[in-house]
Amino acid sequence: MYAINQIYIDGAFVTPHGQELYDLHNPATGEVNGQVRLADAEDARRAVAAAKRAFPAFSRTSKAERVALLRRLHDAVKARENDILEALVEEYGAPVSRAAWMAGHASSVLADAADVLEHYAFEQQAGRALVRMEPLGVAGMITPWNNDAGFICGKLAAAIAAGCTAVIKPSEMSARQTQVVTEALHEAGLPPGVFNIVTGRGEVVGEAITTHPDVAKVSFTGSTAVGRAILRNASETFKRVTLELGGKSPVVILDDANLREAIPMALQAAYMNSGQACIAGTRILIPASRKAEAEAIARDAAAQIKVGDPRDTETAVGPMVSAKQWERVQHYIRIGQEEGARLLAGGEGLPGSVQRGWFVRPTVFTDVRNDMTIAREEIFGPVASLITYDDEADAIAIANDTPYGLQAYVMSADVPRAERVASQITAGRVLINTLSHEPKAPFGGFKQSGIGRENGRFGLEAFLEPKSILMP
């Protein structure tokens, strides 16, 4: 049993003022395997006060000093990569193949931020004015459980590069990832108060941070519903916001694509991180003229997907993070059938191979119309929908007919054609014939998938404000 009893304020591990004990589970078994003592609003206020005290000195550190700090943070987090991997697998059942990438990502984002900072000019000339980019102040950061370690490190990296100080509220379900990462960050020996980590409930600690007048900036990754509430809170004191929210990403398979390659890749996109990914490609758009062929390949490909023990390197789909999330996914699978979609693979209930834990059968629906609930709402589980289109213009219209705009995928044998299609899709990132990631490119969403961008120069500037200085 894990017992996590401390939070991190002003450079030290301290016992929270909050008293609530929250159960942690192993989702692969459904059993309770630990407890975390949660912070409360008073802890959040103490963390903000520490970050506020640290800001004046930290904001005056030189670029070279902050590059050196980021490199130290990178080394410290890298040294705990195996522990992060272990926490990811145990805490939310991330399949080990996926968790390995995520565990490496937690340290690499710190090195990436150091590289960006090294080449960034904080002063530029604009006409007769000198424009100086200045750090915003205390930044509040709120992260979700699906790669909490990576989000903590990524947001903190950008804040430190900019010269901001931070109060981080990780997901209450990610106490183990947070514990390992906090220990690693502490090892790097930053000045007290530069970062503070207070695990607690969203409506308590998250609310206290996003309404606090001394917080200048909020960087949030999570659901669109919570993002909306945060935007409302932030408006009271005009906090700057970066919101990385949900998605319902289209995978546009053009009529010239090799379906034997494109459909399995589309299912991989739909089921990544067990379907618990904001960028999951869950709406698979196929040409109506090739529907039968696409369905047959999708049925075969779904049957090959291994669901079960997240520690098995062959496993592609692990458990859902919680019983509540499992119920939610079951609910969508029911609604899909009630609204007239047809099950091609999977369905309700546990997969045949497992008797316990919060596992979902990798599910593919066909005969899905884009106005059905399963095509409009983020399910956050391994449920993919095949949607037919008539021609390229129709495919683009369906791809864009969504309140979201985080990511899209285009698959085609003709890359210039795929690029033309990509240019007409309203999404923050479009992947053509690949599922790869580029850490130097801006990441974020159009429409209700968010506001602002993370990573690279854009991510750094999200923690800066320009000041123009004119002289006679």
| Footprint of ligand NAD (CB under 6 A) | 142-146, 169, 171-172, 202-203, 206-207, 210, 221-223, 226, 229-230, 244-247, 278, 378, 380, 406, 450
Residue number with CB closer to ligand NAD (243 or 317): 243
Select the residue whose beta carbon is closest to ligand NAD and give its number. 202
Q: How far is the CB of 92 from ligand NAD (least distance, A)?
A: 10
* Beta-carbon contacts of residue 276 (< 8 Å; ≥ 6 apart): 92, 146, 320, 321, 325, 380, 381
Q: How far is the CB of 143 from ligand NAD (least distance, A)?
A: 6
- In order of 259, 263, 266, 302, 364, the CA distances from 296 in angstroms are 10, 10, 14, 10, 11
Nearest to 109 by CA among 431, 408, 464, 460: 460
Q: How far is the CB of 161 from ligand NAD (least distance, A)?
A: 19
Q: How far is the CB of 292 from ligand NAD (least distance, A)?
A: 33
Half-sphere exposure of 90 (CA within 13 A, CB side): 16
* Beta-carbon contacts of residue 357 (< 8 Å; ≥ 6 apart): 27, 28, 29, 30, 93, 319
Residue number with CB closer to ligand NAD (91 or 309): 91
Q: How far is the CB of 344 from ligand NAD (least distance, A)?
A: 24
Task: Identify the residue whose tokens are 């997969």.
Answer: 351
Beta bridge partners of 132: 123, 467
Residue number with CB closer to ligand NAD (86 or 207): 207
How many residues are there in the chain?
A: 472
* Helix intervals (H) in 259-353: 259-271, 291-304, 323-338
Rg of the chain, C-alpha, whole Å: 23
Burial call 237-252: b when 16+ CB within 10 Å, e when fewer: eebbbbbbbbbbbbbb
Residue number with CB closer to ligand NAD (202 or 456): 202
* Beta-carbon contacts of residue 419 (< 8 Å; ≥ 6 apart): 432
Rounded to 5, what percent of the chain is helix, strand, coil?
A: 45, 25, 35
**3-state secondary structure (DSSP) of residue 134:** strand
Q: How far is the CB of 187 from ligand NAD (least distance, A)?
A: 24
Residue number with CB closer to ligand NAD (81 or 207): 207
Residue 187, both tokens: 């090892």
On the 0-12 / 13-18 / 19+ scale of CB atoms within 10 A, 6 is middle
Q: How far is the CB of 375 from ligand NAD (least distance, A)?
A: 16
Q: How far is the CB of 25 from ligand NAD (least distance, A)?
A: 15
Residue 82 region by backbone torsions, left for phi larger than 0, else alpha for psi between -120 and 50, else beta: alpha
From 244, 295, 454, 461, active-site residue: 244
Q: What phi, psi does 352 have (nearest 5°)?
A: -55, -30
Residue number with CB closer to ligand NAD (219 or 370): 219
454 is catalytic: no
Residue number with CB closer to ligand NAD (165 or 276): 276
Residue number with CB closer to ligand NAD (179 or 412): 179
Find the helix packing angle between 63-78 and 81-92, rounded to 10°: 60
Nearest to 76 by CA among 164, 156, 174, 5: 156
Q: How far is the CB of 257 from ligand NAD (least distance, A)?
A: 27
Residue number with CB closer to ligand NAD (142 or 162): 142
A 10 A CB-CB count for 261 gives 14
Give me the active site residues, please: 244
